[in-house]
Structure 1
Amino acid sequence: MLTNAVFTTSGPVVGTETNGVRAFKGVPFAIAPRFVRATPLLAWPEPRQCTDYGAYAPQPGHLDHADENTCLSLNIFAPAGADRPLPVLFFVHGGAFITGGGADYDGSFLAAHGPAVIVTINYRLGPLGFLQLHRHGLDEANNLAISDALAALNWVRANIANFGGDPDAITLSGQSAGASMVIALATLPATKGKFIRALALSAPGRNIMSADHADEVARRVLDELGLAHDVGSITSVPLPSLFAAVERVGRMIADETEQGTVFGPVLDGAVIPREPRDVFAAGSLRDIPLWLGSCRDEMAMFLKSTPPAAMIRTTERQVRDAFGDAGWCRLLSYYRATARLDEDPYEALLSDAFWHRPMADLARLHAAAGGAVWLSRFDHRPALEPFLSQGPTHGADNACLWAHLPDFVDRPILKRKGGPMTPADIDVAARFQAGVLRFVTTGAPDVAEAWPRFEPARESLAIFAQPFHIVPLNDGARSRVWAELLAPSRPVTASS
């Protein structure tokens, strides 16, 4: 049934109520012409029906009917009749900075079981959100996706109380590219005081791009479009042509640049003034509890893509550059000698280099600065493709986080079907969801006895599997060989 109108700074909105949870979908929070920073919409006077997800942000597979000016919307899931302001989970989706959207994340189950208010957002993707053109004549075109997420956060701060949420109890959260966005957002001067906790799942090893690399990408895209001397015309290039040029540039730079990737948050000195890891190390966020998580076989999905993702070659190259060919071969030999029967040692080495070790490094920085931090790894294989055939690869934890027990949910943008969960899926997912909701509510994912904080003297790693258990992070031959290779000095590697 339809809800009563809820008043916001943008105008009144009407949603739906099902099983005690109110859902407001496709709520516009800003408007954004191409390569211009998002601005508030003109307020609407009459109640607006927000019962369906808004337009997807333009992305591969969704370009023909995309409306880039109206894709900035968010979705709110809130328990009906709450007797107190509820904590808020503000979620930034992943998708390699080029795909995805809030429509893939139905937060009604989490909202009901928190209880909590769940918010999922859209932001501009691919060239529309990440192409850095401010040094090429378009003054506002820098870190537009970050600015979009900040605009959404500001809207939530201003309005969430009317939906039953506590604006002073917002947890920033994200997965994959969204986790990189969250790590960057958390460190911005503009977000100070606007959130109290942060959760980052499977943040890529490099959370930030250099301005020089972003400029090189922009230059190549402009060259592909024949607009090196007419940059302003990029605002009217048809979306299919713009995205096709970006795809061609991505193939070209995969092996030609240090980072090998096209998009991500950029250290531009303006929207993002400081390297996020430096902000954590300086202790500026020591009062913000932090949960960092990854999946055991992160790289399996990317190794099995066709062709294998560029990050595979880039990560191996970075490790070889750091330790030499002899160091690389030594690492790989240790991984082969200690591999599980079902483990690909090459994949495990790359997963450690690109995903697990960078997350642990960030945890160390936050803990050393006096911050509370928890580190986890998701080892459970969900009975859902692609995990059923690839193991607990990238996104396995996310599939369980958003499941509506006893079922996985459909992901319409990714075109992945849900399905029934096994008893093991339900057990692990329930533990994971409970941990997230407890973190959102209290600032700790579990009681200290069950899951100790990650501390310099005790680097605890929580393993989500059957059973849930805690292990020392640096245990075993693999950790020792990494430590020996890093011992003489600490060079720049895929994890730094």
Structure 2
Amino acid sequence: MLTNAVPTTNGPVVGVEQGAVRAFKGVPFAIARRFAKPVAPAAWTEPRHCTDYGAYAPQPGHLDLAIEESCLSLNVWAPAADHPLPVLFFIHGGAFVTGGGADYDGSFLAAHGPAVIVTINYRLGPLGFLQLHRHGFGEANNLAMSDALAGLDWVRANIANFGGDPDAITLSGQSAGASMVIALATLPQARGKFIRALALSAPGRNIMSADHADDVARRVLEELDLAGDAGAITSVPLPTLFAAVERVSRRLADETEAGTLFGPVLDGTVIPHEPREVFADGSLCDIPLWLGSCRDEMAMFLKSMPPAAMIRTTERQVRAAFGEAGWERLLSCYRATARVDEDPYEALLSDAFWHRPMSDLARVHATAGGAVWLSRFDHRPALEPFLSQGPTHGADNACLWAHLPNFIDRPILKRMGGPMTPEDIDVAARFQANVLRFVTAGVPDIAEAWPRFEPAKEPLAIFSQPFHVIPLNDGARFRAWAELTARPGAVA
């Protein structure tokens, strides 16, 4: 059944009743020409039917169907309530090159909050992250971040009409989306537009240098034979553009320290400061922060064919930081302390690329006076790829968006959902309840069960069966890292 029309700043929209929740899908919040900043869409007067997800942002596998200028849409799930509800604003992951809001049906979370759930699309790959402003395109810097800002501004301006509280928005994201959340939270343009932040599995490097981004842009232009005519890139067919980017990506993985093409860039304008420096100076000490990761983050990337570039890059960085002797000492420590089912090499790289950077950011925020909680997801969902790879990257996300007692389908990733085991339901229910409590109350759990992360006491919540909390700064692995990091000349 269709909903009543809801007014927005662009025009009225009509959604569908989805159980106890109203769902509005594919609501345009902006449009954008290629390599130009997002602008408001043309206004409409007749109610617009927003009952199906909007066009996917162009990405591998979805280049022929995408409508490039109209991919900037969002989805809203709003339960009935007699008072304004808090809002979860979610930025999807996908290594900055894949994904979309259509992979996340927020109706279950909305009904159980209750809360208003928003998922957004943003431009991906070269269209969202290729930094061309030094090559004649003044607007083409951090376009995906500008898309996310435009989506946040739309929510602030319109969410009250859907029953949401514009003064109670939680920024959230997973993987690449978590990296964008950490950067977005520090921007002057976003100040005062959100009150909390949740980042799940943010990559170790949350920000790229302008020089590296410029090098990527130069390489892509050369690959397209456009070094002397950068303007022609606006008319390059999408398959040709994305194929050139893929070739550059393969070479970059072996030739540069960064090893990856895309991500938020410290460009000095859209992102004026390194995010960790903003957290460190206390500017965000009034923003509660939850940082989470999965136990076996790297397993998925190790088992990809070929293994992901971040594998080689992370090993190179650890070896460069501590030398060959330091690398061998760490690897020996992980071998000596490995669980029966654990790959010591994967565990070392997971700590180096995912867990340690997240705990470092937690320390930075806590030292500056901010409230922060740190978690790790150790449960293996009964769903591929987790059944065969363990609680690897995305295991927590699969449980967060599950419609208990079932995992949901992920149409963009082409992953099927399915029934959950009792253990899945138990862990997912607790994880969802903690997220919704964080969104509604600013703390994920009662203090006795999960105390906040503090400089003198560093609790790590473990989502498994049973839920428990352990000290982060304990054990042989922690001591090995601490001793190596304390050595003169160490840069990790």
| TM-score where L is the length of structure 2 | 1.00
Q: Residue in 1 aligned with 2:243?
A: 244
SS in 1 for 2:282: coil
Q: Residue in 2 aligned with 1:160?
A: 159
Deviations 1:243-297 (A, max 9, x none): 0000000000001111100000000000000000000000100000000000000
Deviations 1:58-89 (A, max 9, x none): 00000012111000000000002x11000000
* 1:475 Cα deviation after fit: 1.2
Alpha-carbon distance in 2 for matches of 1:355, 1:67: 34
* 1:489 Cα deviation after fit: 4.0
Alpha-carbon distance in 2 for matches of 1:195, 1:52: 27
* In the alignment, structure 1 residue 272 sits paired with structure 2 residue 274: no
Q: Residue in 2 aligned with 1:306?
A: 305
* In the alignment, structure 1 residue 28 sits paired with structure 2 residue 38: no
Q: Residue in 1 aligned with 2:230?
A: 231
* 1:18 Cα deviation after fit: 2.1
Alpha-carbon distance in 2 for matches of 1:489, 1:96: 34
Q: Residue in 2 aligned with 1:369?
A: 368
Alpha-carbon distance in 2 for matches of 1:399, 1:303: 20
* 1:41 Cα deviation after fit: 1.0
Match runs of 1:256-267 below 5 Å:
256-267=255-266
Q: Residue in 1 aligned with 2:135?
A: 136
Alpha-carbon distance in 2 for matches of 1:281, 1:488: 23
Alpha-carbon distance in 2 for matches of 1:219, 1:491: 32
SS in 2 for 1:318: helix
Q: Residue in 1 aligned with 2:14?
A: 14
Deviations 1:210-242 (A, max 9, x none): 000000000000000000000000000000000
2:491 aligned partner, one-letter code: V
* 1:307 Cα deviation after fit: 0.1
* 1:50 Cα deviation after fit: 0.1
1:326 aligned partner, one-letter code: A
Alpha-carbon distance in 1 for matches of 2:51, 2:18: 12
2:15 aligned partner, one-letter code: G
| TM-score where L is the length of structure 1 | 0.99
Q: Residue in 2 aligned with 1:202?
A: 201
* 1:22 Cα deviation after fit: 0.2
* In the alignment, structure 1 residue 73 sits paired with structure 2 residue 111: no
Deviations 1:445-468 (A, max 9, x none): 001000000001110000000000
Alpha-carbon distance in 1 for matches of 2:22, 2:73: 17
Deviations 1:143-181 (A, max 9, x none): 000000000000000000000000000000000000000
Question: Root-mean-square deviation (CA), in Å?
Answer: 0.6
SS in 1 for 2:266: coil
Alpha-carbon distance in 2 for matches of 1:450, 1:343: 28
* 1:491 Cα deviation after fit: 3.5
Q: Residue in 2 aligned with 1:56?
A: 56
Match runs of 1:402-441 below 5 Å:
402-441=401-440
* In the alignment, structure 1 residue 292 sits paired with structure 2 residue 291: yes
2:461 aligned partner, one-letter code: A
SS in 1 for 2:432: helix
Change in CA separation of 1:37 and 1:490 when aligned onto 2, cut-off 3 Å: farther
Size of the aligned set, in residue pairs, is 492
Q: Residue in 1 aligned with 2:391?
A: 392
Match runs of 1:211-222 below 5 Å:
211-222=210-221
Alpha-carbon distance in 2 for matches of 1:467, 1:18: 33
* 1:492 Cα deviation after fit: 3.0
* 1:487 Cα deviation after fit: 1.1
Runs of 5+ unmatched residues, structure 2: none
Alpha-carbon distance in 2 for matches of 1:170, 1:102: 17
Checking the alignment, whether the CA contact within 8 Å between 2:485 and 2:491 is kept in structure 1 is no
Q: Residue in 1 aligned with 2:450?
A: 451
2:181 aligned partner, one-letter code: V
